Chain A
């Protein structure tokens, strides 16, 4: 029986009724990964260990908890004990972590099976998965087109039906934008909701792990397991974690949805606009009310992000020096030379560019003008959100200003062109808010995403709104034709 494109909810039922075993399920998933190798969505497969774990699950007493025996893929930014973790960088191409990230460990302790590690933009720096040392990932909907980034491999693996769900990380849109471009559902939780311990850091005040799956319901299942306080992460929230599945099916009658005035949706591609208007009507039919709301500083999100994220990146990535782990250059004259050559050989161009920007923004004489200034504007942006959430429950935007594009068609001449991909997603990272992207139609046969931003710790509201939308539409059930792969 084919398991391709099945959701976790479907697979759970198949496992429980005995129509498939955990071992068969894992083998099917590994087979699909091989069949669609050309997508390039995996960097490392975990064949032996996953087969062993699936077998053990089959032999054990029956366990009907949600994730027991479910194959998952992990973004190659999460440390996985004994399984190579590269961050899609040459500098970590031989790194075997001595421990697993808390988020991965929680998923594995719940019985899920890590079938492989997914390709991504190098160190999560990119919006098209074109900066990976291991090559581009294809969008399953169209060969030669980007899957989005940085969690492009995870999004492509779910969209191609190889796994029902995967982990991702989102610093400025890296879960939501690839979810949108690949026609799946992706959730960035509240900052602090999921432990960052064992995630290779890019920008520590913005990074957050989250799930990519076929449905909002499956995202809730993963979020339930991944969330919670972790004493190993000092920014992990010590808040109660509600059961995100429990209230996902509540009616949304009277839900107040804000439309952000400053995003000037009228200036967007008419096809993006048309889909947005249609989704608005669908939500109105489901009982939601729309309110136009002003967030006066939100247009400053992109420049604010491109000051803060590179600054934090330049500091975080200083740990890669060729001494304790990662690539080490040969034939070096002295210690300083070893640092310089190891880093210069190990990092790709986009990572170098961001380290240099960050170094500049943090250097003497520029710190106040660039870094501190951006953190002040960040507060203004957060204040705008706080104000908005006094009159609305959630905010709605397109996830991306366009659908997926051809390899090499953006950012080669001017990197800022690619940075604008994240126009609608970046502000929720700056303010630490949860946000979800769900498929809501197609533009020229490529999927488009709708974003819902929630108030602090209100993942339940955006999951609820997303689930009700999916219950009343079939955009999330559209599947790519994988004939070219």
Chain B
């Protein structure tokens, strides 16, 4: 883990880290990666990953039309909206 990797991960996660905290973050990440790296010593050949403790197929429900439209309430939580839309900085010139 070097500063360049930290910068790349930060960008992928859309996060900015204060310059003053950058070294500490690098050190913390190294410590945690060392911790999870300790799993490499365990033999997992032929072991299927367990992504959920339930291992069941997602429950299907009947395809029935329901009307609980709360558009206004959802838009109220946005910092900026205009009638039916969330507003963001201009994307297309």
**Taking A306-B32, A356-B10, A359-B9 as contacts, is the C-beta distance between A98 and B77 under 8 angstroms?**
yes
Are A325 and B9 in contact, CB atoms less than 8 angstroms apart?
no
B37: A residues at CB distance < 8 A? 303, 370
**Taking A343-B15, A353-B29, A415-B28 as contacts, is the C-beta distance between A374 and B39 under 8 angstroms?**
yes
Nearest CB in chain A: distance from B40 CB, A: 7
**Taking A98-B70, A323-B88, A352-B15 as contacts, is the C-beta distance between A360 and B33 under 8 angstroms?**
yes
Are A379 and B9 in contact, CB atoms less than 8 angstroms apart?
no
**Taking A303-B36, A325-B77 as contacts, is the C-beta distance between A356 and B29 under 8 angstroms?**
yes
Which residues of B (1-45) have their CB < 8 Å from a CB of A? Answer: 5-6, 9-10, 12-17, 21, 25, 28-29, 31-33, 35-40, 42, 44
CA distance A333 to B89 in the complex (A): 8
A324: B residues at CB distance < 8 A? 74, 77-78, 86
B16: A residues at CB distance < 8 A? 340-341, 344
Total inter-chain residue pairs, C-beta < 8 Å: 166
Nearest CB in chain A to that of B90: its residue: A334
Nearest CB in chain B: distance from A203 CB, A: 11
Are A379 and B13 in contact, CB atoms less than 8 angstroms apart?
no
Q: Is B83 an interface residue (CB 8 A)?
A: no
A431: B residues at CB distance < 8 A? 53
Are B25 and A382 in contact, CB atoms less than 8 angstroms apart?
no
What 0/1 pattern do residues 340 to 364 of A give for CB contact below 8 A with B? 1101100101001101110111010
Are A357 and B78 in contact, CB atoms less than 8 angstroms apart?
no
CA distance A98 to B35 in the complex (A): 40
B36: A residues at CB distance < 8 A? 303-304, 306-307, 357, 361, 370, 374
CA distance A378 to B55 in the complex (A): 13
A328: B residues at CB distance < 8 A? 79-80
A231: B residues at CB distance < 8 A? 59, 61
Are B49 and A378 in contact, CB atoms less than 8 angstroms apart?
yes
CA distance A434 to B39 in the complex (A): 25
What 0/1 pattern do residues 368 to 380 of A give for CB contact below 8 A with B? 0110111111111
Q: Is B82 an interface residue (CB 8 A)?
A: no
A99: B residues at CB distance < 8 A? 70
Are B73 and A98 in contact, CB atoms less than 8 angstroms apart?
yes
Are B59 and A238 in contact, CB atoms less than 8 angstroms apart?
yes
B28: A residues at CB distance < 8 A? 353, 414-415
Nearest CB in chain B to that of A345: its residue: B16
CA distance A234 to B54 in the complex (A): 11
Are B25 and A325 in contact, CB atoms less than 8 angstroms apart?
no
Checking B35, B48, B58, B79 against A379 with a beta-carbon cut-off of 8 angstroms, the contacting residue is: B48
CA distance A360 to B35 in the complex (A): 14
Are A340 and B15 in contact, CB atoms less than 8 angstroms apart?
yes
CA distance A433 to B54 in the complex (A): 10
Q: Is B67 an interface residue (CB 8 A)?
A: no
Are A352 and B17 in contact, CB atoms less than 8 angstroms apart?
yes
B39: A residues at CB distance < 8 A? 300, 303-304, 307, 370, 373-374, 377
A327: B residues at CB distance < 8 A? 79
Q: Is B84 an interface residue (CB 8 A)?
A: no
Nearest CB in chain A to that of B74: its residue: A98
Nearest CB in chain B to that of A456: its residue: B53
CA distance A325 to B50 in the complex (A): 33
Nearest CB in chain A to that of B62: its residue: A231
CA distance A238 to B29 in the complex (A): 40
CA distance A324 to B89 in the complex (A): 13
* The 9 A-B residue pairs with the shortest CB-CB distance in the complex, in nearest-first order: A432-B53, A375-B49, A328-B79, A98-B73, A376-B44, A379-B50, A325-B77, A344-B16, A234-B58
Residues of A whose CB lies within 8 Å of any CB of B are 95-96, 98-99, 191-192, 205, 229, 231, 234-238, 297, 300, 302-304, 306-307, 314, 318, 321-328, 332-341, 343-344, 347, 349, 352-353, 355-357, 359-361, 363, 369-370, 372-380, 382, 414-416, 419, 430-433
Residues of B whose CB lies within 8 Å of any CB of A are 5-6, 9-10, 12-17, 21, 25, 28-29, 31-33, 35-40, 42, 44, 47-54, 58-59, 61, 70, 73-74, 76-80, 86, 88-91
- Contacts A372-B49, A376-B47 known; 5 new A-B pairs at CB < 8 A: A191-B54, A328-B79, A360-B9, A360-B29, A416-B32
